[in-house]
Structure 1
């Protein structure tokens, strides 16, 4: 969406308080909140603005006055004073957006969405849980386990787990790989693989030469399409990936 469209949508919902605005300034009864970029936001129009963006397939948010300033979802929740019902409805809509893959994760403790802008440290804070506990609460972006301190993660495969979770799905309707994650881990050695989208769904791992189906993750032998597309793999904290036999439904 062009910056002009962002501004027009913000004006429609009277999102940004007038220049120099502060508490008590703006539409009668409007409750302002100070965003991280320094602009005062009319939270009365915030929910409608967020809903309008999501209806257009846009799961990310930024200030209409300074487009280079992103607004994290957890920041908007703090500003917006959404009801639990409204927040749950909006978060459910965010999760079904293809563009949200890799940027959002549900906190394993409170199930609310946490957004991050760029791949980076796996240790991820949850603002609502931290406020409730009155201390910093963090979880691992890759596997979702509690991460109570700044010590290194116990499982070195967790960056791999994060990559698998963040990978978007393949969008190629004519292909048998349509709807599969764009990254898979070899079921035997965990090497990251992608498919060329040419030929059969079976792949050969270049590291350990394991042959498996990219769709169902089953090992070679007696495979027939169609097979069930397996979910994103869970590798962190496990001795081995659970394998489906070829042709499992």
Structure 2
């Protein structure tokens, strides 16, 4: 059923006739058009259709398909006349897409927009959208995703009940991995934080001891936590390392993923492994472990 604006709509500018700038499937909706913040116009149904398409494409923010201008979720929610079911779907999908595309962002509990953290050592994060909308400073906890309680800055937790670093807890309580094809390795934790970017990864126990991080694409030894290029010259993919098994981690590395120069140096050190592997080499990149699907709980240690 087509959505239509009420004749007495006063929350935003509505015009009669004119182009429906977001009707890319030629549905020819008859409703009046809302003026979007970018200056273009759309019916509530075409706006819903266009934003639904962006969600299916994995987008975590909305933009005008004509000019590329940003369309905040709050604007979409109102002007698309989203139903309660549509709002729930949009908000859940936005959160999922944001985590999948950029784990360095979280969804603000106040407005459901994607927020990036500037201070990696501070769990208290300011949401500019909520602050502007409410007229007061709105901060939430990066760890428990609730409105901030307590003093700041803090790196361990806020004062909300149950706020804890779930990723560190997981690293400390995980079981050990039993390698099927690596000799004489025992007491190696089954879950590790990538030493380069901090992503949580779980080893399946199959094939070799090395794993390639799905987030930063850097390869390291799951046993000693050294880069493969450092571990390999004194070991091989299926034998013990020259140094002992690294204990369970007590902190999670922070990665500035805008530092492409540094990451390029790290990847360059792996060139030896990519070009000179022999019969002891790990048979397939895909077999080196599984990206831990709980990575969206990454805190800042």
TM-score (norm. length: structure 1): 0.48
* Greater RCO, CA 8 A, separation 6+: 2
TM-score for the superposition, normalised by structure 2: 0.41
Task: Say which one has the larger Rg.
Answer: 2
